[in-house]
Every structure is written in structure tokens, then in C-alpha cells.
Amino acid sequence: MHRFFLPPASCREDLLRLDGREAHHALHVLRIQRGERVTVLDGAGTEFFCDVESATKNSLVLVVKEKKFTPAPTCAITVLVAIPKGKIIESIIQKAVELGAHRIVPLLTERVVTQLDDDGAEAKREKWQTIAIEAIKQCGAPWLPNVEAPQTIAEFLARDEKIELSLIGSLQTERKHPRAWILEFQKTHGRLPQSAGAWIGPEGDFTLGELKLIETAGAKPVTLGALTLRVQTAAIYCLSFLNYELQA
């Protein structure tokens, strides 16, 4: 069954309308016809199973036949990743969606080549959010992760957000296996964390100054194994582990 996306504000009635990009894909790529059954995701936990009532040149009207709500994951996972060269960040976003990330924060670190002004950062955010939307349509994830605009480590930490357990993959400091930090948190609090963060550095790792800044803010250094991993591999490693250990 083909999947489409509409934001929650567009899913309040029993008749849904696909316009613009979604309609173009449905009509001119998938060749969907009246009477077909499709799924609409709102990115906020609800799947709408619909029949196509009518199709014009530029839009489709869908009749909602059934709804299914999936509660949010038990742990909200944020991946904070240094922007790699080229389009690798797009692959990281796709995999983060598939592995249950709640939020993706692209980082401008000292060893990141990309430099953006405010307009450029917002344009990137919009493009990357679209990639996340395409990813939930592909894998069927009911919750859409938020992709933030690129920002520095200092800018993110200045927000003083409460993430219960933050882990940072590091090559340069004394490290533990990530499960050791989870067990320590569970022993202290009597439960698993409800929010977690995974900090992933660029090729060559975070600088010592950046590591100190992140760890001072509470992140726990972890080992990702004996080998030096590429950024995208490290991100998948961390997200896979956290998804397995923390999601009910």
C-alpha cells in the first residue's frame, strides 16, 4: 500500500486532500486511480487508511476508512552529528528515521568544512526535513523526527536542554561500553532514561576542546569498538544500540 504524508493540521476531517508534491507523486509517478487504498501518515503517531474518492489533474480526495495510533517511543533519542562532506548527511537522516530517532541535529564543528549563513542553514533544514518525510513514507514510521538547522556545539548547549543520558563516541578519552552507562543510569534512577542523545563527531573526531565542552555538559564518553568508524557508520551503530536497549 502506497504511503503519503500530511501534517496533523490537514488530517482533522474524514476527507483528506493530497496537493502539490504528494499529489504529483501519486498521480504522475504511481498512477493512482479512484477506488485504490492508500495510507496517510501525519508524523504524529496516526496512520490513516483511505480510499481514493476522486482524482483530478493536481489533487486527490481521500476518504478515511480506518485510523491507527501508535504511541510515541518510550525514549526520545536525539542524534547530534557533525555534518560530513557531500550528501552523506542525507543517508544518515534516512537511517536515523528507520532507527527511531526523535530528532536530528546537524552540527557545525571545527573539523566540518561546510559553512552556512542563516538563509543557507534554513534552506538545508527544509531540504533535510523533506528527506525525513520521504523516509517515514518508505519505512512506515508513524512519528516524524524533527531535523534542526545546522548549528555549532556551543549554540546547542546554550539552550540548556535536559537530555537524561547523553553518550559521545570518542577516540581520545577514557571510555566505557555504552551499556555500562545505561546500567549505571538504571541503577541510580530505577528506570531507563526517557530521553537520550548520541553525539557523533566528524572524520578525525571532535577536537579536544569540543570533547571537553560536550562532556562538561554531561555527555558520557563511549567506545564504538576497536576500529575507527566513518561518521555514517558511527551514527548507525549508536542509534541501533540505543533503539535496541531503550525502546520498549
Do 99 and 64 lie in one domain? The reply is: no
Which of residues 45, 69, 93 is at a domain's end?
A: 69
pLDDT of residue 117: 66
- Percentage above 90 pLDDT, the chain: 82
- How many domains would you assign to the chain? 2
pLDDT digits (tens, 9 = 90+) for 175-220: 899 999 999 999 999 999 999 999 999 988 899 999 999 999 999 9
- The CATH number covering residue 61 comes to 2.40.240.20
pTM of the model: 0.91
The CATH number of the domain where 101 resides is what?
3.40.1280.10
55 and 130 in a common domain? no
Distance, in Å, from the CA atom of 208 to the CA atom of 144, rounded to the nearest integer, reads 34
Per-residue pLDDT of the chain (248 residues; tens, 9 = 90+): 899 999 999 999 999 999 999 999 999 899 999 999 999 999 999 999 999 999 888 899 999 999 999 999 999 999 999 999 889 999 999 999 999 999 999 999 998 866 666 778 889 999 999 999 999 999 999 999 999 999 999 999 999 999 999 999 877 667 899 999 999 999 999 999 999 999 999 988 899 999 999 999 999 999 988 888 899 999 999 999 999 999 86
Whether residues 85 and 36 fall in one domain: no
Residues 83-87: contacts with CB under 8 Å, at least 24 apart: 83/107, 83/108, 83/112, 83/114, 83/150, 83/202, 84/112, 84/202, 84/203, 84/230, 84/231, 84/232, 85/113, 85/203
- 121 and 188 in a single domain? The answer is yes
Domain boundary among 52, 69, 86: 69
Q: What's the domain range around 51?
A: 3-69
Examine the domain organization and report whether 63 and 85 are in the same domain: no
pLDDT value, residue 57: 85
Assess whether 81 and 52 both reside in one domain.
Answer: no
* Residues 188 and 239 placed together within one structural domain of the fold: yes
Query: Measured between alpha carbons, how far is 78 from 145 in angstroms, rounded to an integer?
Result: 9
Same domain as 51, residue 82:
no
DSSP state of 173: S
Pair (64, 83) in one structural domain: no
126-153: per-residue pLDDT in tens? 999 999 999 999 999 999 999 999 999 9
| Helix (H) or strand (E) run with residue 120 in it | helix 118-139
